[in-house]
Amino acid sequence: MRKTSYALALLTAAVLAACGGNGPRSGDQTFATKFSSQVSFGDSLSDVGTYAVGTVAALGGGKFTINGNNTSINPELTGKNWTELVAAQLSLPAPCAAQTGLQGNASQGFLVPVTLHAGCYNYAQGGARVTNPIGPSNAATGSPLGATTVPVTTQIANHLAKAGGKFKGDELVTVLAGGNDIFELLGELSASATTAGGTALITSLVTQLAPGTANPQAGAAAISAAAQAAAAKGGDATAIITAAITAAAQNGNTSAPANAAAIGAKAGADATTAGLAYQAAHAADLVKAMATAGAELGALVEKQLVGNGANYVLLNNLPDVSLTPSAKAQSADTQKLIAGMVQAFNDQLKAAVGSDPKVLYVDLAAISRDQANNPAPYGLTNITTPACDLSTAKNPLASSLACNGKNLIAGDVSHYLYADTVHPTPFGYALIARYDLEQMAVKGWL
């Protein structure tokens, strides 16, 4: 009996020893690499408030997402983009814009002096391109907003000037750019194609109408002059066609008014064909231009960042812009062209940084495609509809730049991917932050 008691006593002691406080705990939240700061270069996807001034600020905007802390509506509506989430995860100060201000229309509140902020290291600006200083909404494009769109190459130069020409080496440097090069190049292509189409429209009208006039040579000149005058007044295709037919009739082509519909239809078809032909002929140039931009960004990373002492460059490639609502609203050919531009940019970017151990090349393009094909595991409930109400009445800028908790579309948009036709919601940004951090962990930086 004595021995039995002894065995039981041992058992009891062991069980007791095993007890104690045993609930879940958060554990060590620090990481292997202690970053001193976060320095960000890029465009609207990384911008933390370059344009949060004047009317933009008054509209409750400033960042390219659903602005403001709306976590009371839904916990995902943090108003933060990925640079802010990554900085918070690394226990770094909240990023602030290195430059603020607008150079647009004063009467609309878009003229606010450009101010530099010494203690702020997020240089990313909405509309910024890789090297070209004129991006979307820059005053030079005629935009009343007057976005400063300081390109990445200048952003880096500005930081180096501020930091004494060198990185310390323990900064996390983030880069994400290229989207605005696509938008500007497409805009230019579209403008040129429209011009080509307009020329073809008038040529077609002249060719169809002049032979029926009393004096074909004089008739051709009169029709052409009338059509061009209508175009110069900003008339649409119908106005131009009407002007041409009227001129033809005045010059003796009596059957012209009766055949107006058929003549107009053919001229319109000729114009469309010419416009598309122009686009097709110049699409390759755009792909080439994007390849150049990708190589330029890669060279900036290698020469200006790593070459000046940066040891941790988080280089996001360009997400697949062809999947954005903006691109989805375009023709299938244009979507294909955009996809090709993204591919050309990323291929050159990747090649330029090679296997540099100081650069973490993150394939956001692949993730954006996976999100489009397989949204559910990401927690995405909608990948096509902008969460912001972009109608002029609700959003004068028709952009997420002026989107907040008060001008969203109806329903629960917390897990939508897009805030406007291009930019992610805070949830979409959180998915980028998560993937970047995952890749940093695999790289051994965390």
Partner 1 sequence: MKVRFNVVKLLVAAGALAVATGASAQSAGQWAVSVGANQITPKVESGAISAPALPNSLGDVGKDTRPLLLVDYGVTDNITLELPIATPYKHTLYGAGSIAGTGKLGTVEAMPPTLFAQYRFFEPNAMIRPFVGFGITYAYFMKETGSGKMTALTNPGASTPTTFSIDNKWTYSGQIGATVNINEKWIAGASFVKTRLRTDVHFSTGQTQHMKLDPNALMLTVGYKF
Binding site for partner 1 (CB under 8 A): 3-4, 6-7, 10-11, 14-15, 17-18, 22-31, 80, 84-89, 370, 374, 376-380, 415, 427, 430-431, 433-435, 437-438, 441-442, 446
Distances from the Cα of 321 to the Cαs of 152, 186, 282, 342, 372, in angstroms? Answer: 19, 12, 19, 7, 11
Token output for 221: 């000149």
Q: Which of 311, 303, 307, 337 is nearest to 322 (CA)?
A: 337
Query: What is the strand order of the sheet 359-362 is part of?
Result: 37-42, 171-176, 312-316, 359-362
**E strand or H helix at 180:** helix 179-209
Tell me whether residue 85 or residue 231 sits nearer to partner 1 (CB atom).
Answer: 85
For the bound state, the minimum distance from the C-beta of residue 346 to partner 1, rounded and expressed in Å, comes to: 20
Of 418 and 427, which CB lies nearer to partner 1 in the complex structure?
427
413 within 8 A of 407, measured Cβ to Cβ: no
Shortest Cβ 38–partner 1 spacing (Å): 12
Nearest distance, CB of residue 136 and partner 1, angstroms: 28
Contact 382, 425 (CB under 8 A): no
Q: Which is nearer to partner 1, 85 or 173 (CB)?
A: 85
Rank residues 128 and 430 by Cβ distance to partner 1 and give the closer one. Answer: 430
**Which one-letter amino acid corresponds to residue 433?**
A
When the beta carbons of 95 and 135 are compared against partner 1, the nearer one is 95
Residue closer to partner 1 (CB basis): 26 or 355:
26
Q: Give the DSSP H/E element, type plus range, for residue 227.
A: helix 216-232
Residue 12 Cβ vs partner 1, minimum distance, rounded to whole Å:
10
Q: Count Cα neighbours of 397 within 13 Å in the Cβ-side half-sphere.
A: 33
34 or 166: CB nearest partner 1: 34
Toward partner 1, which CB reaches closer, 345 or 429? 429
Report d(CA 345, CA 363) in Å as an integer. Answer: 12
The neighbouring-strand residues paired with 138 are 147
- Closest alpha carbon to 158 in 126, 132, 120, 110: 120
CB of 351 to partner 1, least distance (A): 24
- C-alpha 149/C-alpha 146 separation (Å) is 9
Contact criterion met (CB below 8 Å) for 338 and 326: no
**Smallest distance, partner 1 to C-beta of residue 176, A:** 16
Asked whether 43 and 179 are in contact (CB, 8 A), the reply is yes
As measured in angstroms, the least distance from the Cβ of 418 to partner 1 is 16
Element (H, E) at 172: strand 171-176
Q: Minimum distance from CB of 37 to partner 1 (Å)?
A: 16
**Does residue 123 contact residue 98 with C-beta atoms inside 8 Å?**
yes
Closer of 333 and 438 to partner 1 (Cβ):
438
3-state DSSP assignment of residue 255:
coil
Q: How many CA atoms does the CB half-sphere of 234 hold within 13 Å?
A: 0
DSSP category for residue 353: H
**Least gap, CB of 280 to partner 1 (angstroms):** 37
Query: C-beta of 445: minimal distance to partner 1 in Å?
Result: 11
Nearer to partner 1, 31 or 133 (CB): 31
